[in-house]
Amino acid sequence: MSFVNITALTFPAGAEKEIEQRFAARKKAVDTAKGFQEFELLRPQFGEDRYFVVTRWDSREDYQAWSDARPAGNHADDEQRGMSVEVLGFDVVPLEG
């Protein structure tokens, strides 16, 4: 069963360009991680004011192994500037018929 990780990014007004530049310049290491399928950065348009980083994996275990292996970042500066993250995880439900 596929697993989808969604990271919701809260940010101060005016930081949109910085958010998009950060992800455009992101290291491609995740692209070669075991079980990695896809990455998307979703820009809010209506109904929501957070960016969403969406990754799809073969399994939750593959996502967790990648997450556990990556170096911890220093997010203190981001938090002081009003940026924060919320991490969400979902199983993809196979629909029959």
17-66 pLDDT, tens digit per residue, is 988 988 887 767 788 899 999 999 999 999 999 999 999 999 999 999 99
Give the type of residue at 12: P
Condensed to tens digits (0 to 9), the pLDDT of residues 73-83 reads 555 556 666 77
Return the DSSP state at 13: T
What pLDDT score does 5 carry?
96
Q: How many domains does the chain have?
A: 1
Look at residue 16 and tell me if it is in a domain: yes
- Domain of residue 65 covers 1-89
Residue 97 maps to a domain? no
Residue 34 forms part of a structural domain:
yes
- Residue 95 in any domain: the answer is no
Of residues 86 and 28, more confidently modeled: 86
Q: Which regions of the chain does DSSP assign to beta strands (E)? A: 3-10, 36-42, 51-57, 84-91
